[in-house]
Structure 1
Amino acid sequence: MPSAYEQISDLPYGHLLRPHAGPLRKDERYDTVHFDGGSYQDQAANGASFLECAFTGVELGGVKLRQARFNEVWVQGSRWVAVAAPESEWQDAQLLGTVLAGVSAYGSALRRVVLRHCKLESVNLRGALLRDVVFEDCLLRDIDFGDAKLTEVSFPGSTLDEVRFGTAQLRQVDLRGAVRLGLPDGPQGLRGAVISTTQLFELAPQFAHALGITVQDR
């Protein structure tokens, strides 16, 4: 499991960070910038790139981040609400104690990303590419992974509620650590996943229904 930095002083680039002032801008390059405690509402930063940046206590509402790039970013205690970030790229990113609600990230690419103690609600990840991603102690509610490709993704300590894998392609996806599997589509899309024996028993009625099997005791 990739490790996550607990505080900003732990970041290798922490001493290089400089505070940000002003709005977000499209196609802007942000390098070693600290976004601290700001509120960004209905701004457009499509195509912007964030390299070795930190976001602490930041609120983004209705911000447009289409095709934005996040490389080695650290996000802590922030709220991203109704953010449009389709086809964005996330690499070596860490999100801690952050809320993502109503976020559109379809067609995005996430590589070596850690989400810890985060709440994700109504997040669209259709057609996204996730590789080496960890959802640790997170709440995932109403998440759409339809047509996404997930490789080496795990969910230790996380609660999955109304999570749809649909026609996703899974490879080495480890669901064993999840404390709850709320899958409205049942076993559809779970080919390639690893589950525990306990989870198998919990999902047995949905497997039986999908196979057209009637389970009835005399």
Structure 2
Amino acid sequence: MARLSILHIEVSSMAKQKIDAPRVPQGLPDLTLGTWLESQDVYELGVISDCKVADQEAAKLVFDQVIFRNVVFQNVSLQNIELTDIIFENCDLSNADLSDAIIHRTEFRNCKLIGTNLSGAMLRNVKVDHCLVDYANFRYINMKQVILAGSSFVSADLYNTTLQQVYFNDSILEQAQLSGTKLAGIDLSGCQFLTISAEADDLKGCIIAPEQAPVFAALFGLIVKD
């Protein structure tokens, strides 16, 4: 009886995962946001901490060399935001509209991005570390040199996303939408999922673990027999 053949590749992917870290100086002063954010405002060289940014709508904001610590973003629309050399620590950006953002040398550490809209965004040298990113909208994102580590992407929508040097490390992709996203060279072997949405052509060259074979076989209507 024919069996699904799985190519087993030994790769030291962790050694290859090199991205540029945020260039954030030590000893930054406290930085206070204005009562009302205005489009094209520029904030730089400071720490924004222990506050709530609520009911705000602005476009093309610029943040450069800023640390956000324990900040809650509630009911905000910040389209075309530009983030360079930024660290988010213990922040909540759930349901924030950050569509068409430009994000460069930025880290999200232990943050909530549940339902966050990042559609059309461009990410370069970004790390998402131990975050909740369930139901997030990543449609048409262009990602290069990005590490997604120890995070949950349950039901996240990565439809038609461009991935280049993107590393999924010990993350949950249960019911994630990956249709239209080319996965050649992308290593999903360390991820957890029982179901996933993808097209057959998108899976060519994707690296998976042997135990994940039944999940991918199901996409082709196949049954893997023990």
Contact 1:140 1:158 in 2 (8 A): yes
**Which structure ranks higher in relative contact order (CA pairs < 8 Å, sequence separation ≥ 6)?**
2
**Equivalent in the alignment of 2:31:** 19
**Partner of 1:161: helix, strand, or coil?**
coil
**Equivalent in the alignment of 1:94:** 107
Give the AA of the match of 1:107: G
Distance 1:72 1:131, change over 3 A: same
**Equivalent in the alignment of 1:114:** 127
**What do the CA deviations read for 1:63-96 (whole angstroms, capped 9, x no partner)?**
1111111111000101012211111011111000
**Partner of 2:155: helix, strand, or coil?**
strand
Give the AA of the match of 1:77: N
**Equivalent in the alignment of 2:57:** 44
Give the AA of the match of 2:32: H
**Partner of 1:120: helix, strand, or coil?**
coil
Task: Tell me the matched-pair count.
Answer: 208
**What do the CA deviations read for 1:32-84 (whole angstroms, capped 9, x no partner)?**
12110110112023100111111100000121111111111000101012211
Q: CA separation in 2, counterparts of 1:186 and 1:72? A: 33
Which residues of 2 match residues 60-71 of structure 1 at below 5 A? 60-71=73-84
Give the AA of the match of 2:65: E
Output the TM-score relative to the length of structure 2.
0.83
Q: Which structure is higher in strand share? A: 1
**Equivalent in the alignment of 2:147:** 134
**Equivalent in the alignment of 1:55:** 68
Distance 1:172 1:204, change over 3 A: closer
- How far residue 121 of structure 1 moved from its aligned partner, in angstroms, is 1.6
Output the TM-score relative to the length of structure 1.
0.86
Answering whether residue 179 of structure 2 is matched by residue 166 of structure 1, we say yes
Contact 1:116 1:138 in 2 (8 A): yes
Contact 2:60 2:81 in 1 (8 A): yes
Distance 1:141 1:204, change over 3 A: closer
- How far residue 163 of structure 1 moved from its aligned partner, in angstroms, is 0.6
**What do the CA deviations read for 1:168-205 (whole angstroms, capped 9, x no partner)?**
13343221221x124432554333422122222x3254
Contact 1:187 1:206 in 2 (8 A): no
Distance 1:186 1:86, change over 3 A: closer
Give the AA of the match of 1:203: V
Distance 1:25 1:192, change over 3 A: farther
RMSD (CA atoms): 2.4
Answering whether residue 215 of structure 2 is matched by residue 203 of structure 1, we say yes
User: Structure 2, unaligned stretches of length 5 or more?
Assistant: 1-16
**Equivalent in the alignment of 2:96:** 83
Contact 2:86 2:105 in 1 (8 A): yes
Q: CA separation in 1, counterparts of 2:51 and 2:102? A: 23
- How far residue 208 of structure 1 moved from its aligned partner, in angstroms, is 3.8
Give the AA of the match of 1:19: L
Give the AA of the match of 2:108: L
- How far residue 4 of structure 1 moved from its aligned partner, in angstroms, is 9.1
**What do the CA deviations read for 1:2-48 (whole angstroms, capped 9, x no partner)?**
4798xxxx974132343224333321111112110110112023100
